[in-house]
Amino acid sequence: MAERVLMKGNEAIAEAAIAAGCRHFFGYPITPQTEVAAYMSKRMPKIGGVYLQGESEVASINMVLGAGAAGARVMTSTSSPGISLMSEGISYIAGSDVPCLIINVQRGGPGLGGIQPSQADYCQATKATGHGDFHMLVFAPSTVQEMVDLVAGAFDLGDKYRMPAMVLSDGMLGQMMEPVALPEPKEVDNDSKPWAACGHQNKREHNVINSLYINPQELEDLVRERYKKYEKIKETEQRAEEYLADDADIIIVAFGASSRVSRSAVDKARKEGIKVGLIRPITLWPFPEKAIWKHAGHAKAFLSVEMNMGQMVDDIRLACRCTRPVEFYGRTGGIIPTPKEVYDEIVRLNGGVQR
């Protein structure tokens, strides 16, 4: 394994993208993700890549659409309000079957909100990023190392399924440093996409990258095809980490930053003899419903711990098919819950500590 270095999440994810063969970055500054762009602006010119600061998030995501349509491995990064601005472009990207990577280093909302860490874009990322019927692959790392590890896979799966992928990070993961081992750089063949609009060289019919279908039947057929693909992805790409879940009476479901806090709380509660475990979704779309359902038999209750007002609760309810109560504990507005708060919630659900 490569030597471990201390890196900020925002910088590590940028370097990981470069290692994954990304040579095209388009973005616009916004706290708390700006280090991604700054890092790219430093590195890309030295490796023959493209860094371009767009005049807005709106322009940046459309530059991503253009480069992606031309077959390049391309990415952008922003923070919550920026995703709102990009949502138009993301819808077009999904409707045009163009792969790309989008990083969201979440901050508090709605509106200008705040700049401290948040997970309040869960629903936006997993359900309604833009208009129309579509999904993105959504990955939720919980450590700087995992941010690095998920990037190449996110690019590859995006290419495989021809769809946008998002890494849903937050201000905490983006700003913090942890030891990280960077992957070996890999070469990516930008000419490997036969569908790309990059000039037909008079050797094939013209390629059209498009999301407009005036004939409703044609559009319905295409969307249905896409949803078949989504079903396949739901079947094969769900990922979650289970921690002390096998004998647990109470199972916390938490992703990203809040999963780290939850894990500390689980450890503390276990020391008190409380049978509590953790399921940490690594993919938020597809949601790891199999992992939830697997434990719905023995768990007495689920507890969703989030840095928002409970946006994931309904997904857990659906995944356990409403057979178990799904409780919620969260902080929002940019506040990270403490392990003590989560522990207290575990104790409350457990009906106190029985010794």
Partner 1 sequence: MTVKGERPHALLDVPLHYCPGCTHGIVHRLVAEAIDELGVEGKTVGVASVGCSVFTYNYFGCDMVQAPHGRAPAVATGIKRARPENVVFTYQGDGDLAAIGMGETVHAAARGENIVAIFINNAIYGMTGGQMAPTTLPGQVTQTTPYGRDVKTAGNPIRVCEMLSSLDGVALAQRVTVDCVKNVKAAKRAIKKAFEYQMAGKGYCIVEVVSTCPTNWGMAPKDAIQWLRDNMLPYYPLGVYKDIGEGEQ
Partner 2 sequence: MTDLNILLAGFGGQGILFTGKVIAYAGMMEGKEVSWLPSYGPEMRGGTANCSVCLSDATIGSPLVTTPDVLVAMNLPSLEKFEKDVVPGGLIIVDSSIITKKVSRDDVKVVYLDASNIAEANGFKGAANMVILGRMFRETGFCSAENLDKGLQKSIPPKKAALIDSNRKAISLGMES
Which residues contact partner 2 (rule: CB under 8 A)?
4-6, 31-32, 115-116, 171-172, 175-179, 257, 260-265, 267, 336, 338-339
Quick one: what does residue 32 bind among partner 2, partner 1, none, with the CB cut-off 5 to 8 Å set by partner type?
partner 2
H or E element at residue 250: strand 250-253
Residue with Cβ nearer partner 1 (90 or 299) = 90
Minimum distance from residue 336 beta carbon to partner 2 (Å)? 5
Does 209 bind partner 1 (CB under 8 A)? Our answer is yes
C-alpha dist (Å) from residue 79 to 118, 140, 187, 314, 316: 10, 14, 29, 24, 26
Does 41 bind partner 1 (CB under 8 A)? Our answer is no
Contact 328, 119 (CB under 8 A): no
# residues near partner 1 by CB under 8 A: 42
Considering only residues 86-115, where is the footprint of partner 1 by CB under 8 A?
88-89, 92, 96
Residue with Cβ nearer partner 1 (211 or 264) = 211
H or E element at residue 145: helix 144-161
Minimum distance from residue 183 beta carbon to partner 1 (Å)? 23
Write out the two tokens for 198. Answer: 């990059």
Residue type, 76: T
Residue type, 296: A
Does 44 bind partner 1 (CB under 8 A)? Our answer is no
Does 218 bind partner 1 (CB under 8 A)? Our answer is no
Residue with Cβ nearer partner 2 (260 or 294) = 260
Among the listed ranges 116-124, 202-210, 251-259, 279-287, the one in contact with partner 1 (CB under 8 A) is 202-210
Q: Rounded distance, CA 328 to CA 331, Å?
A: 10
Residue type, 309: M
Minimum distance from residue 105 beta carbon to partner 2 (Å)? 11
Residue type, 311: Q
Given candidates 12, 14, 18, 24, which one binds partner 1 under the rule CB under 8 A?
A: 24
* Beta strand 283-285 pairing with 137-139: antiparallel
Residue with Cβ nearer partner 2 (58 or 115) = 115
Minimum distance from residue 239 beta carbon to partner 2 (Å)? 18
Write out the two tokens for 309. Answer: 């007002």
Minimum distance from residue 90 beta carbon to partner 1 (Å)? 10
Residue type, 310: G
Minimum distance from residue 196 beta carbon to partner 1 (Å)? 8
Would you call 174 helix, strand, or coil by DSSP? helix
The helix-helix angle for 339-349 and 256-271 (nearest 10°) equals 60
Taking phi over 0 as left and psi of -120 to 50 as alpha, with beta for the rest, 14 belongs to alpha
Given candidates 17, 22, 37, 67, which one binds partner 1 under the rule CB under 8 A?
A: 67
Does 188 bind partner 1 (CB under 8 A)? Our answer is no
C-alpha dist (Å) from residue 85 to 27, 99, 134, 300: 12, 19, 17, 41
Residue numbers of the site for partner 1 (CB under 8 A)? 24, 26, 50, 52, 54-56, 58-60, 62-72, 74, 88-89, 92, 96, 190, 196-203, 206-212
